[in-house]
Amino acid sequence: MHTIEMDGKEMKMAKRPTIADPERPLGHPADQKLGPEERRRLSGAALRTFLSIADLWGLDEQARCRVIGILRPRIYERCCARARAHLPLMLDAGTLKRISEVLQIHADLTVLFADQREALGWLSRPHDASPFEGRSPKELLTQGDFEALMTVRRFLAAACTGIYMPPQADGSEMPPYEDGEIRFEAGGR
């Protein structure tokens, strides 16, 4: 038991409290450990979805293994076969977390690019932005380490939220909108 004081009252806790990641709100799903039942429930669908995205992105088998952190090809092949056949499968929490980040990267790309070819081009083209340093985002995320995957994820999240937007194709900066250029219209279509 661990004792803490809160609002002048002493409270007993079964576990010592952990420090939350300051970049995530408390109660974020990643802060909660996935139990075996939850992992079993999510694993097949998560892996099938990852495989579809990996096909779209043109990732080879080795790159796929590195992205999701399964470094033994035979284990990867068995997991894929079970997922495709809709057989019971339980991936570890780290693999599910990596797949979750890939899903979010894919979702962010669909937000930023109206055309799928543009999104795939952005993913495959080398970029000079500081996190990429002349490499393509695809090259970075297929490196195999979780932090590289998260670098691509954070970059796209920043672009989606307007914190960062890459320069336009012609190299010019996008000027901010003036108040008169912003219009809100009510009504349906």
Lowest-pLDDT range, 19-23, 161-165, 173-177? 19-23
Residue type (1 letter), 88: P
Query: Cα separation of 46 and 44, whole Å?
Result: 5
Band (pLDDT 50/70/90 cuts) for residue 173 is low
- The single residue listed with the structure tokens 């499968």 is 89
Burial of 127 (0-12, 13-18, 19+ CB in 10 A): middle
Residue 162 has a pLDDT of 77
Per-residue 3-state assignment (H helix, E strand, C coil) for 21-48 = CCCCCCCCHHHCCCCHHHHHHHHHHHHH
Q: What is the dihedral of CA 129, 174, 121, 131, to 10 degrees?
A: 10
Residue whose C-alpha is closest to residue 64's, from 74, 75, 76, 56: 76
Q: State the number of CA atoms in the 13 A half-sphere of 17 facing the CB.
A: 11
Band (pLDDT 50/70/90 cuts) for residue 188 is low
Structure tokens at 178: 């003036």
Instruction: Tell me the per-residue pLDDT of 74-95, one tens digit each, with 9 for 90 and over.
Output: 999 999 999 999 999 999 999 9
Is 161:153 a contact under the CB 8 Å cutoff?
no
Instruction: Tell me the per-residue pLDDT of 6-49, one tens digit each, with 9 for 90 and over.
Output: 345 454 434 333 333 334 433 344 445 778 889 999 999 999 99
Count of other CB atoms within 10 angstroms of residue 158: 14
Residues 6+ apart with CB under 8 A from 48: 83, 84
